[in-house]
Amino acid sequence: MNNINIASSNDIKPDESLRLLIVDDDRDIVESLQDVLEIECDDYIVESAHDISSALNKARTFHPDIALLDIKLGSENGLDLIEALRKDTPDVTCIMMTAYRDVEFAVTAIRCGADDFLYKPLDPANLIKTLKRFQLNQVLLRSKLETERRFRAIFEQSFQFLFILDQDGIIQEINSTALSFLKNNTEELIGTPFSQAPWWDDNAAVAEAIKVSLKGEITRDELTINHNQKQYIFDFTFKPVKDSSGKIAIIIPEGRDITERIEYENNIISLNQSLEARVSERTEQLKIAQQQAVLANSAKTDFLSQMSHELRTPLNAIIGFSQILTMANDENLTEQQRTNIKHIEDAGKHLLSLINQTLDLSQIESGQIELKITNLNINNILEHVLTILKPILTAKSISLTNNILNKSLPSVLTDEQSLTQVLINLISNAVKYNSDRGTIEIDAKILNDKFLRISIKDTGQGIPHSLHATIFDPFTRASNVHAIEGSGIGLSLCKKLITLMDGDIGFSSIESQGSTFWIDVPLSKS
């Protein structure tokens, strides 16, 4: 190459403006890049597009030297533009832009034919530096004179391996990047066949790449270099350069070390396969566990339902006979015996109530309960509930204030029987866990025009903070109420019924001061 006159990079002055096409679906980014280029590079002609179709239409008449392409173009992939652009403009340099700082994206971009990639947000200085570097490549391809003047700057400053071969594949030039890696000197390699260099793992593949390049085609291949008893993988591109007569004058092999990227890619593949196997194994375990849980829950529900039915018959008999005994005017019964019989009746009724709640809970869990959703007047339902609960209110001298009576409230859309049961449970709890001569306050308000929130506030013992998270779990009872009868099913039943009616339930409580339970019931739509 002694006959080539190489100028320094400081002497390089393109004789025509660089044509730059920016393709990004973010119009703000495009405008920002145009502003930067207008300030820093007044010799650039800049056009823009925002999707693949408009980019191709623009390129057919604009013939860009460099294309800045966003990888993510809405639902489209900017990598698809590379091959399409080069059909009309074979020499266009494609620089990908991406916000994904992942080596895998860079590897994919290079494999798809990208010349380089930049990370978003773009650093103006780095952008200008990159564009200038590729501008030199474009000038190299446009003119033999400009090729000679710009060659040294690109050749020596490039981080890639660069060689120049003549028509016979003989090495004419090697850049310092390649020489420093291979630990060879120029005199040893100049004038030797490139395909026979001592570092190649597959000499035939190199010879074939040179052969194809001599036909005027740009070829690309992954080649292995043996160096210091280690193998390195390089992405090599063989570019034929024609002289003014159209004949191929030289071939420029460009090599980029992708060993780490390949290893990373293989590691990712291996890791993905390992993770897929573990996920598959774990999924199968979870599937089996789920099946076992379903079976166990079904067995529990069947057992509760069957036992509840089996126990109700003898319990009803016990209650019935105890009532007969108390009704009979039998002088043979002492007052103590009558008291004991009354205890039997009360205990039987309490146990029957617990069994009924357990049966209700099992029916809900098994999906056997049917709701009849209608428009209901909350005042009518509450009046009915308070009539039922009047005896227990009187027994504990509880003072109840019903603020709902003074309000004009819209109707609610829910199941009457289920809502009645929920209100009975909540108000009876407020009585049961209240102090003697305590107070209960019932109120209601509309939430977001969608729900009616009904609240029941008592002045009872309150719920310990340690139980707040589990109070709605079945068979959960506060540690400070062991002396009060109950199974811990009532609140769980309320929650399940409210949930079935598309409502919600919650509470606030301070121990020794009282609790406020509330339910949100859907409002009627009309």
Q: Locate the domains of the chain by residue range.
A: 1-157, 159-257, 291-365, 373-522
Average pLDDT, the chain: 81
Segment among 18-22, 132-136, 149-153, 460-464 with least mean pLDDT: 149-153
Q: What is the pLDDT of residues 361-409, one digit of tens each?
A: 666 665 566 778 899 999 998 998 888 888 888 888 889 999 998 888 8
CATH number, span 291-365: 1.10.287.130
Tens of pLDDT along 122-131? 888 888 888 8
- The pTM for the full model equals 0.40
> What three-state secondary structure class fits 334?
coil
pLDDT in tens, 292-312: 877 776 666 666 666 666 666
The per-residue DSSP string of 445-498 comes to EEETTTEEEEEEEE-S----GGGTTTTTSTT---TT-TTS---S-HHHHHHHHH
Q: What is the pLDDT of residue 78?
A: 86
Q: At what angle do helices 416-432 and 378-395 cross, to 10 degrees?
A: 30
- 256, pLDDT greater than 70: yes
State both tokens at 308.
Answer: 């509840």
- According to the model, what pLDDT value does residue 190 have? 87
Band (pLDDT 50/70/90 cuts) for residue 414 is very high
CATH number for the segment(s) 159-257: 3.30.450.20
- The reply to whether CATH 1.10.3720.10 applies to domain 373-522 is no
47-106 per-position pLDDT tens digit: 999 999 999 999 988 888 889 998 888 888 888 899 889 888 888 888 888 887 777 777
Cα distances from 285 to residues 115, 277, 289, 297, 387, in angstroms, run 47, 12, 6, 18, 53
The whole-number pLDDT of residue 1 equals 42
pLDDT band at residue 11 under the 50/70/90 scheme: very low
* Average pLDDT for 483-506: 78
Minimal CA–CA distance to 164: which of 224, 249, 245?
249
Interval 139-147 mean pLDDT: 58
pLDDT bin (cut points 50, 70, 90) of residue 455 is: very high
Cα gap 491→247, rounded to integer Å: 91
Check residue 363 and give its pLDDT. 61
pLDDT at 3: 40
**Fold of the CATH domain 1-157:** Rossmann fold (3.40.50)
Q: Is the pLDDT of residue 454 over 90?
A: yes
Considering the chain, what percentage of its residues have pLDDT values greater than 70? 82
The model's pLDDT over 431-448, given as tens digits with 9 standing for 90+, comes to: 988 888 899 999 999 998
Helix (H) or strand (E) holding 234: strand 230-242
pLDDT-based confidence at 281, cuts 50/70/90? Answer: confident
